[in-house]
Amino acid sequence: MGQILSGYYIYMFSLLLVFIALATILHLQFGVTGIANFGLSIFWGFGMYAFALLVLKLNIPFVLAVILATVLTGIIALVLGRFILNLDSQSVLVATLAFLVIIEVLITQEKWLTNGVMGIGPIPFPFDFGVYTKFVYFLIILLFTVALMLYAGKLHSAPYGRLLLSIQDNEPLAQSLGKPTFRQKIIFFTFTCALAGFFGAMAAPVYNFLFPKYLGAEVTFTLWIALILGSRKRLFGGLVGVLVTVGLFDVLLETVVPIPEQNAVILYNAKYFLYGLTLVLVLMFRPSGILGDKKRSINIRNTSKLEKKEG
Amino acid sequence: MPFLDFLKSTLVIGLLESAPLMLAAVGFTLIFCLNGFINIAYAENLTIGAYLAVTFNAMLGWNYYLSIIPASLLAGVVSVLTYLLVFRPAMKRGVGKTEMIILSVGLSFVLRFGINLIYGSELFNFNISKTYYLSFFGMGITSTQLICLGLALIIALGFYLFMYKTNYGQIMRALSDNENLAMVSGINPIKVSILVWFLAGVAGGLAGIFTGVFTWVHSSIGWNVILVILLVAIIGRVGSVRGALIAGASIGIITTAVTLVTQPAYGEIALLIIFIIFLKFRKAEV
Amino acid sequence: MKLQEKKLHLKNIMKSFGGRKVVDIKELAIGIDGIEGLIGPNGAGKTTLINLITHKLRMDHGQVFYYSNGKEIDISKKSFDEIARLGMVRTNQVIQDFQSLTIKDSLLLSLATPRYERFYSIFSEKKLRKSAEQEIEKYLDYFHFENPDGHALSAGEKKLLDIIRCLLLKPKVLLMDEPTSGLPQNQTDLVIALMRKKTREEGMSILIVEHNLDLIWGVSENVYFMAEGEILIEGPPDEVRKNKTVVKKYMGEGDA
């Protein structure tokens, strides 16, 4: 039992949860608010690395390090958001893409920051329950992921969610109703990117050793294809998308179907080839994704006079 | 080094080194001009051009300069195919501008990793028979590289002349993504689109081929510079071919100057800042 | 009309497009406690003027002063949404809608004040609905919406929704850009009756841009005539409709 709990499966499922959380964050940013953030992996990676450096180099205790990493990520998001969030959708996409590519270049060149291919680590877990350590940690990640999804779900029917949807739908019209759209976009962008940093920090002990490729274009791209495929407007779009992409390729294929060493590279290339192909086909033929578009409906649980009148 | 020499070197080297970039920027701008969206998969035009040249040169044994011709023409054909098979149907289905960019990123991945699947992940090099090593304004360079840069510059100027001095070029420039206008003026919009995408593909392919002389040919050579191409196009006020040429040259010169003086890493950060600044300027003017 | 009684003062407003002056107003005061009309031929610059006042469009130069609670506020540089928050709201000539929101969504959006719209307030929907239900119900009843839980489908419904959204904000100044164009007559009557009520009971100032002259004469206390970017005539409806310039430049085009 201990074997399974501390083994490969726990590792995979923990990361799967993190990716689901990230895809849901992207859903909030793009599917709900209309912010096409192509640099989400940067915030996640930054949270991860900031946390690692705080714990390893400055010996800061786990919980405090997580909090600090989250806040620092938020600050970066705030600065970036301040500059780009009053631009149109295409410009935001392009600007965040630029952010991604340039940070990627910086990371590969400035080896002193990330210790290059040797990685930073090992990053310890915050507690020790013997063989059950990783399993308990997995449960904690599960807790936070579920909390995030609950928040996102509630947001859909909350006034704030309505505001965000209106910003995506017709920002000038929302402004004409007095909504401070720029300010709200910055606030929400900062908050959600900070959450990404939080999950990055939480993912650090699972990875144990951190490598620069975690910040890369591939992570961002995987998240995007997962969300578009799963349905960007639906709460569970991220979850479905991640299960179908990462779950299929990285978990199922690797564990159930053992791939011989020499085919690993082919699989890698084929994976991203298929991802790209799926993205193109989905956007062309089923842009709303697997789960389809969301239908706005009034919450039936509300028992005010408003609902009674409908009968 | 004394200032005048510095200036001379910077200008000449900067101009030459930016020639492939100028070509790529021109091709990129052509597509944006015509269809109004940012095509990230354009990066693969460069990559495909380089790989095609490698195919003719290193694999089939053709002379390098000879390989350039079929390689660039085929790159143009590939570009037209992406338009007819992917982008045009997508636009007809009403895919929004932002989604088109995402779609083009997807296509970029398809092409890039498709190349990896076909050619494998090894690095390629051009097989150039005779090449001399020169010192050009204080920079070590091979004769081939020099010729390539020179060719790129000439072709870039050729594009400029075509777009601004010929009738057909002027018509193309006048047409935005406005098929009705095209039809009213008696021009077949599809034909013009195909020509534009073909030229853009050739320009990109050439840019890739010329760049491949300076470095290894691998599947990311296009992806690595798509940002700079985009930046050049934005600075050149996306939509103006002339602007793209000027911006390309300026970027090349500035980059050379910066590299001569500091580290490349700071150049990257500066690039990001410039990028964002120009995005905002572009919006302010609209 | 005494200057001090009006809510908006415009000074030296100018806007040119490509060398052509579209709006050129030296001094103008609008905004009585009541309904005013703004008329003029097509291309006179009426919509542009409204866009300039609400700062949807940037003026080349000029100043706009807004009087509220005895205070003078310079709104020339304030942002589009800030001006709406200060109590100056406009409806749209070209139909604007939230395609992904239902009719009730739109109304609830209007009514949601900042304290409901915080990223951590995810449990406030019930409270909002409760505080909003009376008002929303009044409007839904008054205009007989077919399916308030659905989306606004016809152009008429969307126009009405636009108006109601603005009214729910309880603005002090409401600028309406051709609010009744495209509406069936019974709806138009409902809108006009509502406008009268609002100005009487809540002290709202309403400025209506219209081509339907009968409507203007019937409902306005004060009328402005605009042509070629300038306000040429101002006065009570009876005077304006008899004015020679107005008759010459406009009444030929005016429709019933």
Distance of alpha carbon A44 from alpha carbon C197, whole angstroms? 55
Q: Is A305 helix (H, G, I), strand (E, B) or coil?
A: helix
Distance of alpha carbon C251 from alpha carbon C247, whole angstroms? 5
Tokens describing residue C105: 């969504």
Window 176-215 of C, Cβ < 8 Å to A: none
Q: Is residue A239 part of a domain?
A: no
Does chain B reach chain A with at least 3 CB pairs under 8 Å?
yes
Decide if A94 and B279 are in contact by the 8 Å CB cutoff: yes
Determine the distance in angstroms separating the CA of A86 from the nearest CA of chain C, rounded to an integer: 13
Check if C99 contacts A (Cβ < 8 Å).
yes
Distance of alpha carbon C247 from alpha carbon C254, whole angstroms? 9
Residues 6+ apart with CB under 8 A from B143: B131, B132, B133, B134
Q: Which of B84, B113, B225, B238 to mutate to test the interface with A (most CBs of A within 10 A)?
A: B113
Window 159-218 of A, Cβ < 8 Å to B: none
DSSP assignment of C50-102: HHHHTTSS--SEEEEEEEETTEEEE-TTS-HHHHHHTTEEE--SS----TTS-
Q: Is the dihedral of CA B14, B15, B16, B21 positive or negative?
A: positive
- Residue extent(s) of CATH 3.40.50.300 domains in chain C: 3-96+173-251
Domain of A7 in residue numbering reads as 2-215
Distance of alpha carbon A62 from alpha carbon A140, whole angstroms? 14
Chain B residues inside the 8 Å CB shell of A269: 113, 116-117, 121
Q: Is residue A53 part of a domain?
A: yes
Is 3.40.50.300 the CATH classification of the domain at C3-96+173-251? yes
Residue of chain C whose alpha carbon sits nearest to that of A166: C98
**Torsions phi, psi of C16, nearest 5?**
-120, 145
Q: What per-residue confidence (pLDDT) applies to B267?
A: 63
DSSP assignment of A3-53: HHHHSHHHHHHHHHHHHHHHHHHHIIIIIIS----TTHHHHHHHHHHHHHH
DSSP assignment of C147-210: -TTS---SHHHHHHHHHHHHHHT--SEEEEESTTTT--HHHHHHHHHHHHHHHHHH--EEEEE-
Q: What per-residue confidence (pLDDT) applies to A302?
A: 39
Kindly state the average pLDDT of the residues C78-85.
90
Q: Is residue A206 part of a domain?
A: yes
b/e sequence B163-175, b meaning 16+ C-beta within 10 Å: beeeeebeebbeb
Distance of alpha carbon A19 from alpha carbon B147, whole angstroms? 49
Judge contact between B156 and B26, C-beta under 8 A. Answer: yes
Q: Is residue A26 part of a domain?
A: yes
Q: Which of B40, B272, B277, B286 to mutate to test the interface with A (most CBs of A within 10 A)?
A: B272
Neighboring chains of A (3 or more beta-carbon pairs < 8 A):
B, C
Kindly state the average pLDDT of the residues C58-85.
86
Judge contact between B226 and B21, C-beta under 8 A. Answer: no
pLDDT of residue C224 exceeding 60: yes
Distance of alpha carbon A232 from alpha carbon A238, whole angstroms? 7
Chain A residues inside the 8 Å CB shell of B227: 97-98, 101-102
Decide if C104 and A305 are in contact by the 8 Å CB cutoff: no
Judge contact between B197 and B61, C-beta under 8 A. Answer: no
Q: Is residue A246 part of a domain?
A: no
Q: Give the β-pairing of C61-68 and C71-74.
A: antiparallel
Kindly state the average pLDDT of the residues C161-181.
90
What domains can be seen in chain B, in order of their start residue?
A: 15-285 (1.10.3470)
Tokens describing residue C205: 């100032």
Judge contact between C22 and C45, C-beta under 8 A. Answer: yes
Q: Report the predicted TM-score, pTM, of the whole model to 2 decimal places.
A: 0.88
Judge contact between B108 and B43, C-beta under 8 A. Answer: yes
Kindly state the average pLDDT of the residues C120-135.
88
Tokens describing residue C114: 């900042």
Distance of alpha carbon C126 from alpha carbon B279, whole angstroms? 42
Check if C95 contacts A (Cβ < 8 Å).
no
Check if B92 contacts A (Cβ < 8 Å).
no
- Going residue by residue through chain B, which has 286 residues, state the pLDDT in tens, using 9 for 90 and above: 567 776 776 677 667 667 788 788 888 887 887 777 789 999 999 999 999 988 888 778 778 788 888 999 999 999 999 999 999 999 888 888 889 999 999 999 999 999 999 988 778 877 776 677 777 666 666 777 777 777 887 887 787 777 777 776 666 666 654 555 655 666 667 887 888 899 899 999 998 988 887 777 888 888 878 887 887 777 665 556 666 666 767 766 666 666 555 555 566 667 677 777 777 766 554 3
Determine the distance in angstroms separating the CA of C241 from the nearest CA of chain A, rounded to an integer: 33
Q: Is residue A162 part of a domain?
A: yes
| Per-range mean pLDDT, top range of B72-76, C59-63, C198-202, C203-207 | B72-76
Check if C110 contacts A (Cβ < 8 Å).
yes
Total structural domains within chain A = 1
Tokens describing residue B76: 């143009």
Residues 6+ apart with CB under 8 A from B278: B231, B234, B235
Distance of alpha carbon C245 from alpha carbon A137, whole angstroms? 82
Q: Which residues pair with C230 in a beta bridge?
A: C227
Amino acid present at C199: T
Judge contact between B156 and B22, C-beta under 8 A. Answer: yes
| Other Cβ atoms within 10 Å of C24 Cβ, number | 17
Mean pLDDT by 10 residues, chain A (311 residues): 64 92 96 94 93 90 95 96 89 88 74 66 84 88 96 93 94 93 96 96 91 82 93 91 88 69 81 92 90 68 39 33
